[in-house]
């Protein structure tokens, strides 16, 4: 595709595939039966407040390999070798994306902290962080649907997404992503420290191409400092078509 599609996608929080039990586990529940009940009650309220206040929205904007080369280089602060350097040049199609849960939710979390409802704020924050990724998943599925409508994928195609701030791709590259995607229209801005407002937002690139282009060894210099090594999981679980 040649850098022409730009679409705003409004999602409904009810249609997102949220694994609430998994989120509850991440929040942390001890074995004490009485406490489980109390925590479940707070969690239920946190979940209701979250669903009321979140406004999941995203933008995708396709981009050519040449254009992405400049976006990727960003402010020239990337590690010299990263997984992406090899991947994006072999892609069939690429699209930049930015998603957000909206500022009502972020404000609500801030207000809860101020009013000392810290347990609830903490739960809402974890829910929001998890759901930001789920919204990005939905946007990715939408992109796959679009590609498939245009006959741009086949049985070997695999779509995975990558974000600045991870795996050697410096966070400052967000500046060029913003310039290309122009998410101000859906109320997302970037400050001088490359921080998105609202906070519950995420940005990056979705790369579509033959499955094997997404495989790489995690032996970059920066991998030594990596605590999660979650690229392994992501490569395994990536969206296969």
Partner 1 sequence: MFEKLMDAIVNIREKEALEITQTLIDGNENVIKILDNCTAAIARVGKRFEAGEYFLPELLMSGEILKKISEMVKPKLEREVVSKKLGKVLIGTVKGDIHDIGKNIVSFLLDIHGFEVHDIGIDISPGKFVEEIKDFQPQVVGLSGLLTLAYDSMKNTIQAIEESGLRNSVKIMIGGGQMSEKISNYAGADAYGKDAMQGVTLVKKWIGVD
| Among 119, 163, 172, 239, interactor with ligand B12 by CB under 6 A | 163
- Residue 212 lies near partner 1 (rule: CB under 8 A): no
Give, in order, the Cα–Cα distances in Å from 54 to each of 46, 68, 111, 201: 12, 31, 15, 12
Stretch that binds ligand SF4, among 9-17, 175-183, 199-207, 222-230 (CB under 6 A): 222-230
Residues of span 41-60 touching partner 1 by CB under 8 A: 42
Per-residue x/- mask for ligand B12, residues 197 to 226, rule CB under 6 A? --xx-xx-----------------------
**H-only helix segments in 89-211:** 103-114, 118-149, 174-181
Q: What angle do CA 159, 180, 140 make, to 5 degrees?
A: 20
Phi-psi region of 136 (alpha: psi -120 to 50; beta: other; left: phi over 0): alpha
Dist CA 63 CA 46 (whole Å): 38
- Residue 222 lies near ligand SF4 (rule: CB under 6 A): yes
Per-residue x/- mask for ligand SF4, residues 109 to 148, rule CB under 6 A? ----------------------------------------
- Residue 86 lies near partner 1 (rule: CB under 8 A): no
CB of 125 to partner 1, least distance (A): 5
DSSP character at residue 74 = T
- Residue 215 lies near ligand SF4 (rule: CB under 6 A): no
- Residue 117 lies near ligand B12 (rule: CB under 6 A): no
Q: Yes or no: say if 49 and 108 are a contact pair by the CB < 8 Å rule.
A: yes
- Residue 171 lies near ligand B12 (rule: CB under 6 A): yes
Give, in order, the Cα–Cα distances in Å from 16 to each of 83, 90, 193, 234, 240: 29, 31, 31, 20, 19
CB of 199 to ligand B12, least distance (A): 5
- Residue 83 lies near ligand SF4 (rule: CB under 6 A): yes
Residues of span 94-133 touching partner 1 by CB under 8 A: 113, 116-119, 121-123, 125-126
Dist CA 92 CA 159 (whole Å): 10
Residues 6+ apart with CB under 8 A from 166: none
Q: Which positions touch ligand SF4 (CB under 6 A)?
A: 83, 166-167, 218, 220, 222-223, 226, 228-231
């Amino acid at each position: 595709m040649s850098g022409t599609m730009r679409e705003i996608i409004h999602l409904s929080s009810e249609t997102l595939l949220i694994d609430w039990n998994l989120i509850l586990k991440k929040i942390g529940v001890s074995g004490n039966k009485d406490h489980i009940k109390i925590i479940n009650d707070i969690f239920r309220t946190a979940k209701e407040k979250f669903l009321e206040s979140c406004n999941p929205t995203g933008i995708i904007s396709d981009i050519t390999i040449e254009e992405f080369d400049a976006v990727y280089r960003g402010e020239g602060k990337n590690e010299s070798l990263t997984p992406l350097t090899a991947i994006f040049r072999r892609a069939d199609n690429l699209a930049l994306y930015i998603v957000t849960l909206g500022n009502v939710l972020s404000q609500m979390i801030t207000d809860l902290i101020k009013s000392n409802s810290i347990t609830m704020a903490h739960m809402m924050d974890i829910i929001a962080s998890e759901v930001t990724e789920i919204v990005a998943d939905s946007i990715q599925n939408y992109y796959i649907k679009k590609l498939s409508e245009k006959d741009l994928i086949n049985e070997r195609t695999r779509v995975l997404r990558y974000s600045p701030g991870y795996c050697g791709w410096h966070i400052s590259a967000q500046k060029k992503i913003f310039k290309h995607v122009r998410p101000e229209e859906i109320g997302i801005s970037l400050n001088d420290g490359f921080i998105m407002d609202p906070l519950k937002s995420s940005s990056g690139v979705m790369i579509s191409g033959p499955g094997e282009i997404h495989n790489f060894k995690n032996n970059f210099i920066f991998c030594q400092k990596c605590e999660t090594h979650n690229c392994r999981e992501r490569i395994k679980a990536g969206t296969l078509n």
